[in-house]
């Protein structure tokens, strides 16, 4: 990990500032590999019915290798103060951006999979304007955070690590947020540190009905369950099953072939797109490629899969009752089901998100809703 960082002078409390500095040789190697891609033929079928269409992938691969400006993205990321600190035996990378407003509420944001701290870059400005100090750690095994050294790593362990991070930063009271993988981790921070966590804000996942709930659902709720079970995004590539079975096997291809890595990332971001229009109309292409490049340069396609390979089955997050919860969700989430395991104080009916990664698609909308929730609990 450290070969990609230019370290500056040590900071207090064991935290070391750094800047991202990918070697030029790695950039040249990426471009050469993309130029030498051995393209496969297009299989029969319309659109995305067999996976990422060849012509679509070739066009984006050409852009990644010839026009995408990693150095510009790297410089942009380096405008945010970044640090690394050792917690529980692992180096943890994080952004720490302070609000200019008086009496800010600290807020720790946890990204999803297959995403990274890049998920929140466009939301940092709106959040600091709303009066939040923003802390964005990279989950162990993702980006510049060290990977777990043994099997059995858990979201509860990450929750305890985040609580320790906020303690080291000197914060006595703070909020936590998470979506996707973060929706499992954020509640664990509250479980680990309830006396200091003001509230937990979760993007989706809570209150999703399952077949075991069917007999207790009314007609409208059963319709939502059926819609969930039949939705395109629930029938994409089963990354949980794939990575639970053989993450090491697939990591060879993702690490060796940027075209394979690009296809994998496109498949998942396409599966997570609920807009009914092309992905590049919903999420910024350079943001997608910045996230992908981070995975490529840090060799974290395999190490980021620990939430899947250390699980036995897939299940929606449950949350917690230690502190109040706010949910940015729409159908199929059902508030009364979420309230079985959470004290819900915020459940807006105005979520118009068109992509699973809301912070990338609608950063200002999400920041405003988060400000509304945390104003209730701080």
Could you tell me the residue ranges of all domains in the chain? 26-39+49-377
Reported confidence tier of residue 5, pLDDT bands at 50, 70, 90: very low
Reported confidence tier of residue 81, pLDDT bands at 50, 70, 90: very high
Locate all alpha helices (DSSP H) within 40-154, ordered by sequence. Answer: 54-66, 70-77, 121-129
pLDDT at position 352, please? 76
Angle 310-316-317 (CA atoms, 0-180°, nearest 5)? 85
* More confident site: 298 or 310: 298
Q: Reply yes or no on whether the pLDDT at 211 is more than 90.
A: no
pLDDT tens, position by position, 339-371: 999 999 999 987 777 888 999 999 999 999 999
pLDDT at position 217, please? 87
Go through 94-103 and write b for each residue having 16 or more CB atoms within 10 A of its CB, e for each that does not.
bbbbebeeee
Tokens of 233: 């995004």
Average pLDDT over residues 293-315: 93
Q: Which CATH superfamily is domain 26-39+49-377 in?
A: Alpha/Beta hydrolase fold, catalytic domain (3.40.50.1820)
pLDDT at position 88, please? 96
Beta strands in the chain (DSSP E): 5-7, 15-20, 82-87, 90-97, 105-110, 132-137, 174-179, 197-203, 324-328, 343-346
Lowest mean pLDDT among 13-27, 201-215, 238-252: 201-215
| Residue 219, H or E segment | helix 219-230
Q: Reply yes or no on whether the pLDDT at 106 is more than 50.
A: yes
Q: Reply yes or no on whether the pLDDT at 221 is more than 90.
A: no
For residues 175 and 377, the answer to whether their CB atoms sit within 8 Å is yes
**What SS3 class is residue 292?**
helix
Reported confidence tier of residue 232, pLDDT bands at 50, 70, 90: low
End-to-end CA distance of the chain: 37
**Calpha distance 236→5 (Å, rounded):** 36
For residues 208 and 333, the answer to whether their CB atoms sit within 8 Å is yes
* Residue tagged 């009271």 (tokens): 173
Lowest mean pLDDT among 120-129, 156-165, 230-239, 247-256: 230-239
pLDDT tens, position by position, 121-147: 999 999 999 999 999 999 999 999 999
pLDDT at position 13, please? 64
């Amino acid at each position: 990990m450290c070969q990609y960082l230019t370290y500056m002078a040590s900071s207090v409390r064991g935290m070391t500032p750094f800047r991202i500095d990918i070697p030029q040789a790695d950039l040249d190697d990426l471009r050469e590999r993309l130029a030498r891609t051995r393209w496969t033929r297009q299989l029969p079928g319309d659109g995305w019915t067999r996976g990422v269409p060849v012509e679509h992938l070739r066009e984006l691969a050409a852009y990644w290798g010839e026009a995408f400006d990693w150095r510009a993205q790297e410089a942009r990321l380096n405008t945010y103060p970044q640090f690394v600190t050792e917690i529980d035996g692992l180096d943890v990378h994080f952004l720490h951006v302070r609000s200019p407003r008086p009496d800010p509420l600290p807020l720790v944001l946890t990204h999803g999979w297959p995403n990274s701290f890049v998920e929140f870059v466009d939301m940092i400005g709106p959040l600091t304007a709303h009066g939040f100090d923003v802390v964005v750690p990279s989950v162990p095994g993702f980006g510049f955070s060290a990977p777990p050294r043994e099997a059995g790593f858990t979201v509860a362990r990450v929750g305890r690590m985040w609580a320790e991070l906020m303690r080291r930063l000197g914060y006595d009271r703070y909020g936590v947020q998470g979506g996707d993988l973060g929706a499992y981790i954020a509640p664990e921070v509250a479980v680990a540190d309830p006396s200091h966590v003001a509230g937990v804000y979760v993007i989706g996942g809570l209150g999703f009905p399952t077949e075991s709930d069917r007999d207790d659902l009314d007609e409208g709720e059963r319709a939502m369950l059926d819609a969930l079970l039949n939705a395109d995004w629930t029938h994409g590539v089963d990354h949980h099953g794939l990575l639970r079975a053989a993450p090491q096997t697939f990591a060879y291809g993702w690490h060796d072939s940027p075209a394979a890595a690009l296809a994998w990332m496109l498949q998942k971001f396409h599966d997570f797109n609920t807009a009914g229009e092309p992905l590049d109309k919903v999420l910024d292409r350079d943001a997608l490629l910045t996230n992908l490049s981070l995975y490529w340069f840090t060799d974290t396609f395999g190490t980021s899969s620990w939430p899947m390979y250390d699980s036995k089955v897939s299940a929606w997050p449950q949350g917690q009752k230690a502190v109040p919860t706010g949910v940015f969700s729409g159908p199929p989430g059902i508030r009364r089901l979420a309230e079985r395991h959470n004290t819900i104080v915020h459940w807006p009916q105005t979520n118009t998100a068109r992509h699973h990664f809301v912070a990338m698609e609608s950063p200002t909308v999400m920041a405003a809703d988060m400000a509304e929730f945390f104003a209730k609990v701080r």
